[in-house]
Amino acid sequence: MSVRELVVLGTASQVPTRHRNHNGYLLRWDGEGFLFDPGEGTQRQMLRAGVAAHDINRICVTHFHGDHSLGLAGVIQRINLDKVPHPVSAHYPRSGQRFFDRLRYATAYRETVALLEAPVDTDGPLVRTPGYTLEARRLSHPVEAYGYRIVEPDGRRMLPDRLAAHGVKGPDVGRLQREGSLNGVALEDVSEVRRGQRFAFVMDTRLCDGVYALAEGCDMLVIESTFLDEDESLAVEFGHLTAGQAAGVAREAGVRHLVLTHFSQRYTDPAEFERQARAAGYEGDLTVARDLDRIQLPKRRA
């Protein structure tokens, strides 16, 4: 069975705290693993969360501040130490290539794995596979930052009662799916659109067009809410979101499961983020992320 879940490795902005590691997230998407924004300490958090270096197929870095990238050095060396048997691709803002180079080669080690550098310098699709398209959108932060989005293509769900009514059964079902029509029966007559799932990862940004574009129609949105609403002026100044702003985006975009994270260490009560998100009118599933949470993508829409 295919697994689609978010494993939260760390949730602190800027500096780790006693209860929160620097950022880090692994998304399991069927057989693939996407490691997002590995901050300092990500390698050890992977161990605690049961994530192996082998689980990583792609690394996506939104920007080169330490809480989103200092973990690259350790994770990349671990991928090589463990001789991960598949290539690993890395996506990050091209303007930060010098930071990526330093982190990749921070110390001496034996390179055993093909690490493919695929820097991002424009909005749009980065990779298309049969199972998903990975897209990037520019965000608004003091250093160049991109958010990421994974979009599964729409498919079709076969309807047993319609198949029976048209007398299609056995191997003919597969033939009809492959060929689009069979003996005068069209695929559309016996099936409905099965909407592909969508996941977005939005870190370190003010409100901007990219935030809304990434969030649009997502089954799960992982988004920073560094600040509470009373500190909105700080959020704007430093290029961040508040809980209410992030939840407002999720509400407008029709997000089904909102995951708030990347919290400033100035706040002590996580429940306040939830209260402000609800006050902003967001009514879907909501998680105020904690380190080592595992969060399933919602079941497909009926």
Residues near Zn ion (CB under 5 A)? 13, 67, 204
Task: For tokens 């973990």, name the residue.
Answer: 71
Q: Which of 67, 204, 219, 293 is catalytic?
A: 67
CB of 274 to Zn ion, least distance (A): 21
CB of 66 to Zn ion, least distance (A): 8
CB of 13 or CB of 197, closer to Zn ion: 13
CB of 293 to Zn ion, least distance (A): 18
Cα gap 26→24, rounded to integer Å = 7
CB of 13 or CB of 225, closer to Zn ion: 13
Nearest to 167 by CA among 182, 146, 150: 182
CB of 70 or CB of 168, closer to Zn ion: 70
Cα gap 255→49, rounded to integer Å = 26
CB of 112 to Zn ion, least distance (A): 31
Is 133 exposed, middle or buried, given 0-12, 13-18 or 19+ CB atoms closer than 10 A?
middle
Burial of 279-290, coded b for 16+ CB within 10 Å and e otherwise, reads: ebebebebbbbe
| Gyration radius from the chain CA atoms | 21
The alpha carbon of residue 269 and the mean position of all alpha carbons in its chain are separated, in whole angstroms, by 25
Q: What is the phi/psi pair of residue 138, to 5°?
A: -65, 140
CB of 215 or CB of 241, closer to Zn ion: 241
The residues that bridge with 191 in the sheet, in sequence order, are: 158
Q: N- to C-terminal Cα distance for the chain? A: 19
CB of 65 to Zn ion, least distance (A): 5
CB of 142 or CB of 153, closer to Zn ion: 142
DSSP state of 230: G
Q: Are 215 and 202 in contact (CB under 8 A)?
A: yes
> What tokens does 24 get?
């880090």
The residues that bridge with 74 in the sheet, in sequence order, are: none
67 tagged catalytic: yes
Active site (catalytic) residues = 67
